[in-house]
Amino acid sequence: MCPTKSPNHFAAHLAQPPWENPAAVAMARHWVADPLRYESLFDAATTQCAIGEVSPVYLQAVDAARALHERCPGAKLVAILRDPAERAYAHFIGRRRDGIEPVATFEEKVGTELADPLPDDVAFGHYIGCGRYHHFLSPYLERFAPEQMLIVLYDDLAADPATVLRQVFGFLGVDSSFEPTPVERLNRSGEIRGRLRRTVWTSTVRARTALRPYLPARLRTAIGRPFVADVHKPPLDPMLRARIVAALDADLAALEQYLGRELSAWRRP
């Protein structure tokens, strides 16, 4: 959450992704690389005491913290962390659903990613590498004061959203008694039921990506709702989960030490 209209050059840093993964190429089209265009995202802001934006990519590159601190040293930052194995699997299923992941099975993807060391600098496009939360949080912890950062666990948010939202509102310095209106849950990951609907949705990914900048969010949601409203998410194979947890064991231990909290639910078989 940046209290001023200061541009962030992190998007520009990744504007030309070196990966050939179609998911990376598709995602790069949504990045804002022009500082003036980034500032324009906040044109509607007037007298609000807090304005901000959100992107999961900020926790996928070690250079992001430096760029943020240079441009907006007074920012307040909120990180929401999810069980890394479940997040990686949901991410894969979601990309398969949308037709931007060419690898057919999560097992194959896990095998490929774990065949090499997990990335240290940029984990974008890497399902398991993005789960090294402590590694990618560390540059923020070095640059921003403790009172500028709030780390929330997705498990807590899902179990008691009202309490967590009050905590976030208090952290941001806004009305903590405010109760937001319930909203529709969007972008659920899973396999689209029905072969015809699944084929139509996945085969139109290029057209949908190209048209995205020109269609209002409400219209995009209305178009996609018939396709993605009815999805089925097969359970994550326990053996694959165990491999992912083992690969992230050292990072999980460091995160537990920083939070002062055991993450036993994330380590479950």
User: What are 202-223's pLDDT values in tens digits?
Assistant: 888 888 878 877 888 888 888 8
Residue 39 lies in a domain: yes
Residue 106 lies in a domain: yes
Distance of CA 62 to the CA centre of its chain: 15
**What does the pLDDT read at residue 86?**
95
| Helix (H/G/I), strand (E/B), else coil: 259 | helix
**What does the pLDDT read at residue 9?**
35
On the question of pLDDT at 17 being above 70, the answer is: no
For the chain, the average pLDDT equals 84
Lowest mean pLDDT among 29-43, 107-121, 154-168: 29-43
Number of structural domains in the chain: 1
Residue 33 lies in a domain: yes
pLDDT tier at 147 (50, 70, 90 boundaries)?
very high
**What does the pLDDT read at residue 26?**
53
For 53-95, give the DSSP string.
Answer: ---GGGGSBTTHHHHHHHH-TT--EEEEE--HHHHHHHHHHHH
Residue 192, strand partner residues: 231
Residue 144 region, left (φ>0) first, then alpha (ψ -120 to 50), else beta?
beta
What's the CATH code of the domain at 65? 3.40.50.300
Structural domain boundaries enclosing 76: 10-190+233-267
Question: Is the alpha carbon torsion for 148, 15, 134, 121 positive or negative?
Answer: negative
* Nearest Cα residue to 148 out of 52, 42, 18: 52
Rg (CA), the chain: 19
